[in-house]
Amino acid sequence: MIARGRLDIRFAELFWAAMYSIGSTCGLKKERPNFSEGQLPCLSVRTGLHLVLEALNLQPGDEILVADVNIPDIFAIIASYHLKIVPLPIDKNTLGLSAGQIEAAITTKTKLLLITHLFGAIMDTEPLLDIAKLHHLIVIEDCAQAYDGVYEGNFRSDVAMFSFGLIKTNTALSGAILYIRNEELLAAVKILNNRLPLQNGGRYFKKILTAALINMLTARWPFTIAYWLCKQLGKDFDAFITGFTRSFPGRDLMRKIKYRPCYANLCMLRRKLSNFNRSHIHKRRILTTQLLEDVDSRNIIGNANLWHSHWVIPILVANPSLLIDKLRENGFDATSKASSLVKMGFSDFLSESSNELTLQNLVYLPMDVEMGKNKVKQLNQLLLGNLLNE
């Protein structure tokens, strides 16, 4: 069976991560890795958002305009500051926000706009920033799913946050990079970050071992055996897989994110940033084009987006469980649970003709750039046959 995805890290890179970790434990640290001007490494995007909100010192009841789809932790962090979340719908075709809807949502209490780039797609931010800057809003871009080695956020944004967590593009197993273009804000966030205790090196070493295990498990035959065993034992295969990849499982989120990256984590962040090979993005684009050839554009999430790195491949279907079962029967691990995204409440802007992104009918196709041509063709034909029959 072809796995739903592979970690974007090679065994050779895991070896280097282990060497950094062991060297640090043995007291063989060299100088702290250097990062470019304006780049701030931190433990996670969650940590970065917490630090930025702490530095901004907004008042309880102030409003933040947010894309209404994100991971639950992002909404929880905002709520922990007693800020009012104003959700905005995402267009399923462009994966963008509407400048008109942003302008209509702004009140005297609105202080910040949080733009979320989903699935590897980067939305057009220019019209959004025109409105935001006209109303003197702070603008943060959540680019956790959108790293491509080129985009560093719109230079008019105040903050852009990129994740290098376990399942992300160019993973360093943990960590994030913040681009903060407001010098005063950057200085304040640095002070707050430096006050945090260091991440436990043993915890990072455990991530190295977990990544090595996942790399072995997601090879063709081990993955097939794992799927068969789960089925025989009546276990939830999706729960089994996602159990390996959660960044901050359990409760007490705010306590868990308040750390700085350990030395080994910083070394891997620096190494991955310096050695990123953009050919991987090119291969993902080719694979996505081939898998979705002749598929109706109405089934393709983000079909009108012009800057897409295809971190995942979501499609919209009438009966997700039926398609997933069919694909798994044929050796393709499609899933409706490849992401921890949630949709917040109901938008005031929804209409019957809306192109608003929803999550309940999405299926995520396998993303494996090493998939052979015959397998790519087979999956494409399965999609065409099953989607046409819906």
For residue 42, what are its two tokens? 């931190």
Print pLDDT tens along the chain (390 aa): 999 889 999 999 999 999 999 988 887 777 788 898 889 999 999 999 999 999 999 999 999 999 999 999 999 999 999 999 999 999 999 999 999 999 999 999 999 999 999 999 999 999 999 999 999 999 999 999 999 999 999 999 999 999 999 999 999 999 999 999 999 999 999 999 999 999 999 999 999 999 999 999 999 999 999 889 988 888 888 888 877 777 676 688 899 999 999 999 999 999 999 999 999 999 999 999 999 999 999 999 999 999 999 999 999 999 999 999 999 999 999 999 766 899 987 555 554 447 999 998 999 999 999 999 999 999 999 999 988 665
Task: For residue 149, give both structure tokens.
Answer: 């080695």
Q: How many residues does the chain have?
A: 390
Using left for φ > 0, alpha for ψ between -120 and 50, and beta otherwise, residue 27 falls in left
Beta-carbon contacts of 117 under 8 Å, excluding residues fewer than 6 positions away, are: 95, 123, 141, 142, 143, 145, 146
pTM for the structure as a whole:
0.93
Q: Tokens 């046409």 appear where?
A: 388
Q: Write down all domains in the chain, each with its CATH number in brackets.
A: 11-195 (3.40.640.10)
Question: What is the b/e burial string over 300-320, where b = at least 16 CB atoms within 10 angstroms of the residue's CB?
Answer: bbbbebeebbbbbbbbbbeeb
In this prediction, residue 390 carries a pLDDT of: 57
pLDDT digits (tens, 9 = 90+) for 24-72: 888 777 778 889 888 999 999 999 999 999 999 999 999 999 999 999 9
CA distance 92 to 103: 20
Q: How crowded is residue 291: how many other Cβ atoms within 10 Å of its Cβ?
A: 22
Tokens representing 286 are: 């080719």
CB 383 within 8 A of CB 294: no
